[in-house]
Structure 1
Amino acid sequence: MSNTRQYIIGFLSLLALFVGLEVCAQEWADIDKIAASQAGSSPLLFTTPDNETPPVVPGNFFHNNECTVRSGIPNLFHKAKNGKEITVAFIGGSITQGGDSYRMQTARYMQNRFPGIVFRWINAGVSGTGTDLGAFRIYEHVLRYQPDLIFIEFAVNGAYQPGMEGMIRQIIKANPHTDICLIYTIQNGQTEVYQRGEVPGNIQGLERIAEHYHLPSIHLGMEAAALEAQDKLLWKGVSHQAGERILFSKDGIHPDKAGGDLYAAAIARAIEKMDNSGAPETRTLPTPLITAAWDEAGMYEPQQVAVFDTSWTPITTTKSKLKQFQGWFNTIMAADKPGASFTFFFEGDQFGIFDIGGPEVGQLSVWIDDQLVGMKMITDRGYRLREVSSLDADTTLNRFNRFCNNRYRGQYDVIQLHPGRHKVTLKISSAKADKREILGPNQLNDIVTNPDKYDLSTIYLGRILLRGKPLTEKEYKGE
């Protein structure tokens, strides 16, 4: 069984426990589409298209619970009324990264809603990822641009609540004037939950966080659910199946343009509902609802925190075959020699790598405080996590998976340690994974045709993830 499939099984087991069977109604093919979608980055900064396509309008749909205003987005309205430049960020998974899923339509609506305002738009969507990686990357991808409003979309990518809380707390710490709005997309089977007058279980968990921090939230799927109940919308299918109905999506997850228009219209209605929602306010940071553990999550350029041996080479992504990842990584550290290593020090309880998988990638061995360690998968945390274990467990961190068949993809892994100061060394392993076994019988054409391409142990390191703070070697030793 591949590592990716193991991750998914563990994730679904937890999800079923907490939110019920309706959230687990996705077919394996749909889940695979999430995992397979990390094929490249998008530019962080984007512009709205200058064309004649009319922006979405709020429309006539009404459900009182579609948007819960709470504290609203008063700082955005205040800046708009005073004619100031506004920065709006969207952070989430593949639904956010995709151009027509809701993000671009929302930006065009806001540009039309506030004429004369200069907007700067941030696309911090990373396909196939959840709030765990979101908490690690939110500073680099969002907060350093000093946004005025942040839309957070992660409901279909795990809805891991501690990670969501960590993102929110990092935003408030960085700038207590930043408006935050949680937006809830849905997946296969969840329209039926809304049709019963209920809220999907994963979204209920996020709503508790929104309530605790007094943040506005929007259920983007309510209108689609109502239209489906009236047989005016097909949630998943192809054009000829839809007939005169709106086709929301082809895969049950990622909206087509028409589905994205419905999502964006929900945001438009919410913005109208939140207008005049109050005077500008300074948010205070309450005690955590769940945990403050993710407050210190961060993502670092490898050369910023680690020391590499001479086997490693920095690669500028724009000038390489990996240029599709330049939105995430301007430089990648690469090596293919077994034994090639890098070392860093930190104080905390988790570290990870955000890297690029592909046909030629290999495996890493992990050394903690100068000891080789085994690692076992943890399946009860709600996100992908490994924990240091005995050497009877797997001692390699395999960077190849079934989605690396003749393609490159972004990927990440996080490893749990006991809290404290740690020295971490990662080395390219001489052991090679059975890539044919991982790919499976239906994906052997390329590896059979180009075996040399797969018979390598390359590592493409984009970022180092730390839940804690980086240390120098002297700080680690207490000098």
Structure 2
Amino acid sequence: MKLIKNTFLLLFTLFISFAHAQEAEKIRVACIGNSITFGYGIKDRIKNAYPAQLQRMLGDNYEVKNFGISGRTLLSKGNSPYITTGAYKQALDYNPNIILIKLGTNDSKAFNWVYKDEFNSDYVKLIKTFQSLESKPTIYLCKAAPVYKRGRKISADIVEKEINPRIEAIAKSQNLEIIDLFTPMLGKGDLFPDAIHPNGEGAGELAKLVYTALTGKEAVLVDQNFPGKKTDWKGFTKYTFEYNNKEAFVLEPKKALAGKPWVWRARFPWWHTEMDEILLEEGYHIAYINTDNQFGSPKAVKAWDSFYKYLIRSHDFSKKVALEGVSRGGLFVYNWAKKNPELVSCIYTEAPVIDFKSWPGGYGTGIGSEKNWNILKKEYGFKSDAEAKKYANSPMDNLEVLAKAKIPVMHMISLTDSVVPPKENTFPFINKYLELGGNATVITCTEGKQTLHGHHFPIETPQIGADFIIYNTKKETTSLNSSVYHKLRAGLQNSKIKFEREKTGRVAFLGGSITFNGGWRDSITDYLKAKFPETKFEFIAAGVPSTGSTPAAFRMEQDVFKDGPIDLLFEEAAVNDGTNGRTKEEQIRAMEGIVRHARYLNPATDIVIMHFVDPGKMKSYRNGIIPDVIQNHEKVAAHYNIPTINLAKEVTDRIDAGEFSWAKDFKNLHPSPFGQGIYAHSMLSLLEMAWTRPIAEDDKIGSYPLPDPLDQLNYDKGELVDIHTAKLSGNWHIVENWKPEDGKATRPNYVDVPLLVGDEINKGKATFTFTGNTVGIAVVAGPDSGTIEYRIDGGDWQTLDLLTNWSRSLHLPWFFTLASGLEHTKHKLQIKIAENIDPSKRIGNACRIRYFYINK
């Protein structure tokens, strides 16, 4: 027996030695470079930066490390020299066998290239530092990739005509191999979205060029769904990779469920994996990041925040995750969940540490761990045991946030556990959680062999744990993609640059009642404040119920631009323009006027036009007809290259696909909170898509071109004019603080304000003198509205009925355009009260004017 045991030990030792030898035989490749090497702007740079794609092509006999740092120069006097970075020092310590140097692009900036005479000597110095390494590496110099836009800080001409020839000369003088990343990439500008940085496909092309240079073989890209090393794990695929210098992995199901639900394991990911296997079979992903010796500290939670964002942004994981914590993993899952309750579907734990004073502190009946206690204190920054014991944000504390979010929890425990005693951890936690209104389940595991003082025990019912997670995961049906209903056109990059660089932003919301009401507008403002946390925003809510594009065009100066130009403007008018009977000409003139007016004041203004839904538009789409108003607004948007969101078509299609209903979910024209959420989701996805590309260092805010107008009579210089400028006679008078006496509803800014009033037939006139090509009146059209006669410049009198379809129950704002296409000279408008049309159906003769409006 002893001989067998010794033989086994010998074989095991030989196996370990062989494994280490195999590891040591890997050829180490260091990729030195700037943002192109780093993978700047690539959605999943960890998987698709050129070094990562090169690693997959080279295979397991190579180890490729990315030491790229954005914005770095080769020049030691450049604004950001590579040799001063930690990445450079790490590359030296790596002692690589092969070194790929791709620097020079940032040196082309004018303020760097003034030191061009030192470029060659600085490059040679860099080469010498690597040549002095013990590994005696083979060094390849890479020519810089093309720059696809001239006139930027990074100079296309200097890169092509000065930097790359110098790199070739250096390679020749130092007897080094050179890899041409310039010539083969010419004519491939579509792979460089910002003209400088390649996308994932472009990085793959660079990787192929490098692979062929290293091996002499034809390059074939190796794609996979996640970064890192791909291995088999119990019949499923495991991807192991490094994320922010921490080991991480993802287990991939054979067929993922819609919405990509996932489970996030904390600590001991190899322990009790039966439940994970069940969930993988069901279509769940399993993820893990190694923060093992951080005991759920704030630093660990921050690392988890970053990893979470990576998985949902780069791999579209569900925004809600099921957390799984074993032993001290309880500290991780509960601390992260308390910070992010809205992101957690449920929490499953086994023998969880809830109170670190119990373990590893040992300040209770259980078996503590002095070693781990000291590590924990250092990790949390505690200077003494007393300070640690006073800590008031352990999982046991501040549970209200989880209970309020109704996050269900399940604990699997052993009653004999004396390492993490349930009486000091699970029981007080669960009791407190229940008292706060939380949902909790405890399962005691009493069967089978229990070891490590009862802390290690078999899970009798892994299916129950899996069912708990499945039950509490919101089932997501395959839903339509909002991007189908978006036309991004010229995009919204100006506003992103303004918000990120200048840290200020003015955002306006212009439209009718759906814009006036809260809901989607609040979601946009919250999103912007979260995405640009350092930016000081001013939000202008310029929605006025019952109004469409014509009122908006004349309200621009007063309601939108009163305090300055706008960086980002959201405009909606499709519902009211359609239902209020505006003609095709009016719809185009008004929407075009809004666009041109905004860009007169700020040529860089980003604009988004939105088409909201109503039953009429749904009926049109179901009959295969695009509503006229949407065609008209789209004509303007296309002419000015402005993004649009067709929410009318999106909501119709989603209802027809069975995602929700109009009557039960969306409710009506003014959406329910659910409907507001549908609107907001689509808008936010447009913003995410528009702002996917990172800002390059030399990106600038640009002025949008202003083409010839579609309609020369558009309202591009519209303004409201004070009623006090009118000359009055007879019964016409101004009520300085008007309010109705009939108890009917009103609209903001059209009640408790000055109104010009006439209400007696043929008793005087209101005369308004103006200069412009368009004139109209903004009235309060209530139940007692009458009929007016008006004329321009002494012409024929024309009759206008002020009673609208909605006036009988509401004093609503209404804009009547009285004349358009006038000569741009001085004109005189006269108004008088006329005999009522069909007086049997009338209750009054009133004309109440809030503003005159003109197009100057």
TM-score (norm 2): 0.39
Structure-1 residue corresponding to 2:656: 229
Which of 423, 440, 453 matches 2:828? 423
Match of 1:260 in 2: 676
Residues 74 and 279, structure 1, Cα contact 8 Å, conserved in 2: no
SS across alignment from 1:303:
helix
Q: Say whether residues 1:288 and 2:709 are aligned partners.
A: yes
Task: Determine the structure 1 residue equivalent to 2:609.
Answer: 182
Conservation of the 8 A alpha-carbon contact between 1:73 and 1:179: yes
Paired residue type of 2:547: T
Shift of 1:191: 5.0
Give distance in 1, aligned partners of 2:620 and 2:758.
Answer: 49
The structure in which a higher percent of residues are strand is 1
Residue-by-residue CA offset, 1:302-350 (whole Å, 9 max, x unaligned): 124x222374443344877699545357422224344232212234443
Distance in 2 (CA, whole Å) between partners of 1:191 and 1:434 is 35
Q: Sort the Cα spacing of 1:426 and 1:81 in 2 relative to 1 into closer, same or farther, 3 A.
A: same
Counterpart CA distance in 2 for 1:268 and 1:328 is 32
Cα distance in 1 for residues equivalent to 2:611 and 2:687: 15
Does the 8 Å contact 2:498/2:701 carry over to 1?
no
Please give the alpha-carbon distance, in whole angstroms, between the structure 2 residues aligned to 1:319 and 1:419: 35
Cα pair 2:787 2:801 within 8 Å, conserved: yes
Residues 1:327 and 2:745 aligned together: no
Structure 1 segments unaligned to the other structure (5+ residues): 1-51, 375-395, 439-453, 470-479
Residue 408 of structure 1 corresponds to 811
Bigger shift: residues 306-315 or 408-417: 306-315
Change (3 A) 1:417 1:153: closer
In structure 2, distance between residues paired with 1:106 and 1:295: 27
> Is 1:164 aligned with 2:591?
yes
Answer with 1 or 2: which has the greater Rg: 2
Task: Please point out which of 121, 124, 132 is paired with 2:550.
Answer: 132
Task: Give 1:68's aligned amino acid.
Answer: K
> Counterpart in 1 of 2:11?
none
1:9-158 matches, cutoff 5 A: 62-82=481-501, 84-100=503-519, 102-145=520-563, 146-158=565-577
2:768 touches 2:829 (CA, 8 Å); kept in 1?
yes
Equivalent residue number for residue 289 of structure 2? none
Partner Cα separation in structure 1 for residue 616 and residue 747 of structure 2:
33
1:298 aligns with 2:719: yes
* Distance in 2 separating the partners of 1:199 and 1:149: 27
Q: Does structure 1 conserve the Cα–Cα contact (< 8 Å) formed by 2:513 and 2:543?
A: yes
Secondary structure of 1:227's aligned partner: helix
Match of 1:373 in 2: 797
Q: Is the 8 A contact 2:713 2:821 kept in 1?
A: no
User: Tell me, what secondary structure is at the counterpart of 2:514?
Assistant: helix
Structure-2 separation of matches of 1:183 and 1:427: 39
Aligned amino acid, residue 777 of structure 2: I
Which letter does structure 1 place at the counterpart of 2:672?
D
Aligned length: 363
Deviation at 1:67, TM superposition (A): 2.4
CA distance in 2, matches of 1:361, 1:196: 37
Partner of 1:15: none
Aligned-pair distance for 1:295?
Answer: 2.1
Q: Deviations over 1:164-223 (max 9, x none)?
A: 112111111122122111122222264577789986554344333222212222223455
Structure 2: which 5+ runs fail to align? 1-339, 344-477, 579-586, 694-698
Residue 566 of structure 2 aligns to a residue whose secondary structure is: coil
1:437 aligns with 2:841: yes
- Map of 1:315 onto structure 2: 735
CA separation of 1:107 and 1:417: change in aligned 2, threshold 3 A? closer
**CA–CA distance in 2 between the matches of 1:402 and 1:201?**
21
Cα pair 1:182 1:216 within 8 Å, conserved: yes
Shift of 1:162: 2.7
The alpha-carbon deviation at position 465 of structure 1 amounts to 1.8
Q: Residue 261 of structure 1 aligns to which amino acid in structure 2?
A: G
SS in 1 for 2:769: strand
Distance of 2:636 and 2:727 partners within structure 1: 39
Which residue matches 1:477?
A: none
Equivalent position of 1:379 in the other structure: none
Q: Deviations over 1:216-253 (max 9, x none)?
A: 22223455344323322112x2xxxx3xxxx1133xx3
**Within the alignment, does 1:465 sit opposite 2:842 as a pair?**
no
Tell me the CA shift for residue 260 of structure 1: 1.2
Structure 2 residue identity aligned to 1:462: R
Instruction: Describe the shift of the 1:180–1:335 C-alpha distance in structure 2 as closer, same or farther (beyond 3 A).
Output: same
AA aligned to 1:437 is K
**Relative CO higher for 1 or 2, CA cutoff 8 Å, sep ≥ 6?**
1
Q: Which amino acid aligns with 1:171?
A: A
**SS where residue 165 of structure 1 aligns?**
helix
Query: Could you tell me how far apart the structure 2 residues matched to 1:139 and 1:291 are?
Result: 20
TM-score between the two structures when normalised by the length of structure 1? 0.66
Deviation at 1:87, TM superposition (A): 1.9
CA drift at 1:353: 0.8
What secondary structure does 1:139 align onto?
Answer: helix
How far did residue 64 of structure 1 move?
A: 4.1
SS of residue paired to 1:315: strand
The residue that corresponds to 1:350 in the other structure is 774
